[in-house]
Amino acid sequence: MRTKIVAGNWKMNCNLSETKLLLEGLAGKVEANENQKVIVAPPFTNLHYAFECLKDSPIEVAAQNINENESGAHTGEISAKMLKGVGATYVIIGHSERRAIYKETDATLAAKTNQAIKENFKVMFCVGEELESRKAETHFEVVKSQLEKGLFQLSELEMKNVVIAYEPVWAIGTGETASPEQAQEMHAYIRKLLANKYNAETAENTSILYGGSVKPNNAKEIFGKADVDGGLIGGASLKAEDFLAIVNSL
């Protein structure tokens, strides 16, 4: 059975005291469940603090990015080994903001993914088309290419440590969500790609999350679709009450 996951991507929000408040609102309110995972991704500076705060909670901690190199002269960057030491278990790779604003290419994302897997992280690999592509009906091709160039270099065994997040760019932070049917259609397509590239078992076991304006009032309907295994939540993850309501929609 696939693991259901709700992950909160805090992006560049929350200083230390805000982190403390938000985590106090979450810790103790999420119960351990072997079929379900709750993850938070605070900024780098608060990762270790979050890890310490969540020690007695089943909530896991993710980093929002990683550098593709092992170490060395990369001023301002953070390596996988450093992240290991602060208690993160997941790394988000390929978020559309990294692709669009920081110009991360498919090749860079493949290198980041390899680096993360090498250091025994679980990878949350994001894909998703922009509005123009949805309008031009090239969204399936775009997502296929992102997966083939950034993720499918992994072996079948390595894929056991991967979660895919489908996040249509036009739905991120816009208040506009993909319809549950649009999400289902793309998730089923991604699962078919996994089956073709790897096998039926990998396709069946890989969790595929939806991201893009998931809120307490629409989570249940989206998560109710057969191939949607949870969500990657931006804005609504910054309010404990909303995030918990989304977790409870699983």
CA distance 187 to 199: 16
When binding is defined by CB under 6 A, the residue of 79, 115, 184, 213 that contacts ligand PGA is 213
Nearest C-alpha neighbor of 66 from the set 123, 137, 25, 138: 123
Q: Which amino acid is at 91?
A: V
Closer by beta carbon to ligand PGA, 182 or else 213: 213
CA distance 191 to 177: 21
233 part of the interface to ligand PGA, by CB under 6 A: yes
Bridge partners, 231 (sequence order):
6, 210
When binding is defined by CB under 6 A, the residue of 4, 5, 9, 168 that contacts ligand PGA is 9
Instruction: Tell me which residues in 151-170 interact with ligand PGA (CB under 6 A).
Output: 167
224 part of the interface to ligand PGA, by CB under 6 A: no
Contacts of 65 (CB under 8 A, 6+ apart): 44, 78, 91, 92, 93, 95, 98, 112
Q: Which of 68, 95, 97, 104 is catalytic?
A: 95
Q: Give the SS3 label for residue 69.
A: coil
Judge whether 31 counts as a catalytic residue: no
CB of 9 to ligand PGA, least distance (A): 4
C-alpha dihedral sign at 36, 80, 107, 129: positive
Q: Which of 60, 97, 104, 167 is catalytic?
A: 167
CB of 168 to ligand PGA, least distance (A): 10
Closer by beta carbon to ligand PGA, 67 or else 213: 213
Judge whether 167 counts as a catalytic residue: yes
Residues 116/66, Cβ–Cβ less than 8 Å: yes
Residues 167/131, Cβ–Cβ less than 8 Å: no
Bridge partners, 38 (sequence order):
6
Number of residues that bind ligand PGA (CB under 6 A): 13
CB of 10 to ligand PGA, least distance (A): 10
Closer by beta carbon to ligand PGA, 98 or else 225: 98
The interface mask with ligand PGA, positions 168-207, x = CB under 6 A, is: ----xx----------------------------------
List, by residue number, the catalytic residues.
Answer: 95, 167
Interacting residues with ligand PGA (CB under 6 A): 9, 167, 172-173, 211-214, 232-236
